[in-house]
A and B are shown apart, each in its own frame.
Chain A
């Protein structure tokens, strides 16, 4: 699991919750750094990323990079701005408005990971869960 977030306190909050649920989390402070992690031998099964971040790439560009170079790797995005689903790359399987409730995002992460483990033929779909509110359903 790779969490990409430039705000340290937000990153801390979500990473801590994910670790408490037993997930192994790698932290990146920018999409550029995340791309470096993906280029390394580090295993990543899902990316959670903010969209607006400083650096060469933003979260959307990172998602396009994932579509192009890591097909099947799901992403969940968060943004304070409105985004049209049609604008989002295929790998995006969740979009949360910021500020978000951590539980909603983490629940969605767990769902995507569960689907990924149970349904290998259903990866990389375009089923975007664009939550206007955090989805409490586990």
Chain B
């Protein structure tokens, strides 16, 4: 649902069913990704936090927005994602889009490191 909503907002969205799939996509240099939006709890070898760690280690500068059900995970996510706020589930798709828009806008305004 969220992927479809983001597409209607004009974003090009790549869907990954797990962190493992996301990493396969992120490892491809020919596939451009400017933000990662991920659930916290997922099947596979790692969850959303594991994916955030991987992104920080391997794709520094790439923003991650996590969505999860547990309030306490918000603090953990905040530590992992400097600019990527945690969304509490259930979230409104519009809220997710606002977050993503804000992060992309902030990124554009940052001087290139």
Q: Which of A87-128 contact B (CB under 8 A)?
A: none
Q: Complex: how many Å from CA A26 to CA B25?
A: 18
Question: Which residues of chain B are near A27, meaning CB under 8 Å?
Answer: 3, 15
Which residues from chain B contact A15 at a C-beta distance below 8 Å? 15
- Can you offer 19 A-B residue contacts whose CB atoms are under 8 A? A8-B16, A8-B17, A8-B21, A8-B24, A8-B25, A9-B24, A9-B25, A9-B28, A11-B15, A12-B14, A12-B15, A12-B25, A12-B31, A15-B15, A19-B7, A26-B4, A27-B3, A29-B17, A29-B21
Which chain B residues border A19 with CB–CB below 8 Å? 7
Number of residues of chain B lying within 8 A (CB) of chain A? 12
Residues of chain B contacted by A26 (CB below 8 angstroms): 4
Give, as a whole number of angstroms, the nearest-CB distance from A102 to chain B: 15
- How many Å lie between the Cα of A26 and that of B31 in the bound state? 20
How far apart sit A19 and B14, CA to CA, in the bound complex (Å)?
Answer: 11
Tally of chain A residues near chain B (CB < 8 A): 9
Which B residues touch A12, using CB under 8 A? 14-15, 25, 31
| A-B contact sample (11 more), CB < 8 A, given A11-B15, A26-B4, A29-B21 | A8-B16, A8-B21, A8-B24, A8-B25, A9-B24, A9-B25, A12-B25, A15-B15, A19-B7, A27-B3, A27-B15
Taking the closest CB of chain B, its distance from the CB of A117, in whole angstroms, is 22
Tell me the minimal C-beta distance from A128 to chain B in angstroms. 29
Task: Please encode chain A, from 1 to 30, with 1 for each CB lying within 8 Å of some chain B CB and 0 for all others.
Answer: 000000011011001000100000011010
Contacting A at CB under 8 A, from B1-36, are 3-4, 7, 14-17, 21, 24-25, 28, 31
Q: Report how far A22 CA is from B7 CA in the complex, Å.
A: 12
Smallest CB-CB separation from B3: which chain A residue? Answer: A27
Cα-based distance from A86 to B28 in the complex (angstroms) = 39
Quote the shortest CB–CB distance from A18 to chain B (angstroms).
12
